[in-house]
Amino acid sequence: MSPAPRPTLRLAVVLVTAALALTACQRPDPRADGPTAPTRAATSAGAPTPVTYPYEQIAGVDPDLLSLDVYAPAGAVPAGGRAALVWVHGGAWQTGDKANDTMATKAAWAAQHDHVLISVNYRLATDGPTWPEPAQDVAAALDWVLARTDQLGIDPARVALLGHSAGAHLAAEVLADPAYLAAHTRQRTDLACLVTLDAASYDLTAPDPGIARMVSTAFGDDPATLAQASPTLRLQSVGGPVPATLVVTRGVSARVADATSYAHAVTAAGPHPATLVDAPDASHQDLNDLLGAPGDQVVTPAVDTFLAGCLG
């Protein structure tokens, strides 16, 4: 029996700035940030083997949660350095890992474009709310990368942040609220672009009922905290500038509306109109599993086109 066909991408639209209408914690000690053994070997054809680095050290925190994996393509580093894709995993803010089973596929995909892929761990809400620690961790990881672009062979002007599900929420939040990167004397526009794949929510004050319990577990029920952790509301409050942004969504109308509201907020913040892509036939997991998969026509082409535009 032949396998069932994959869903196909049916809609891509861009938010235009003028009308907002749809038209188409501390720095790590540099003496202690050397590489350690990778947590899992990449196995996909063409995937570089990851090297694990600590990006921060906090007493009492599992070092693995404050580490990242660097997948660097083989061969000489081009003049000026390679573009880098910084990936934030999902898992309802409570589970997941930087070395999950999709990373080898993503690493091979990045290597085909001669990009460095960097997969980030962060503190999880395993035993109750931890906010804002996960967002602080993502910001610390970005600072670590930006401070070591020469060491890693990266062009500092071509660093993109990507995430799926809870990871997409964290990526969006870190680039919505300037306070996270400002804690490291950096700004949001130090990143070239942002890709969010079916974020768990962009407005935690009114989440999809299907994830309300997850939100309560990870963030608690304080309205002020939920608003502070909501990328759409933070952008509406503090404005831009923010990097060029691709928002990929799917699912029920309320979920698409949530993503659309966030894309409007990005466009209003400027200076770039957000690109919104709806993949209505894809599942939530498809948008993670298929990214970079050979022959994928669901999500990879839209991400490739967007990254080519913002990373060159």
Q: Which amino acid is at 31?
A: R
Tell me the average pLDDT across 168-176: 98
The domains located in the chain, with CATH, are: 11-28+41-311 (3.40.50.1820)
Express as a percent the part of the chain with pLDDT over 70.
86
Could you write out the DSSP letters of every residue in 225-253?
Answer: HHHHT-HHHHHHHH-----EEEEEE-SSH
- Separation of alpha carbons 12 and 112, rounded Å: 24
99: helix, strand or coil: coil
Structure token digits, residue 144: 């670590």
What the block records as the tokens of 21 is 């209408």
User: Is the pTM value of this prediction over 0.85?
Assistant: yes
The DSSP call for residue 175 is T
**Residues 252-304: pLDDT tens digits?**
999 999 999 999 999 999 999 999 999 999 999 999 999 999 999 999 999 99
The answer to whether 46 touches 22, Cβ cutoff 8 Å, is: no
pLDDT level of residue 207 (50, 70, 90 thresholds): confident
User: What's the one-letter identity of residue 124?
Assistant: L
* Strand pairing category for 82-88 and 116-120: parallel
Sign of CA dihedral 289, 295, 299, 303: positive
Q: How many of the other CB atoms lie within 10 Å of CB of 252?
A: 10
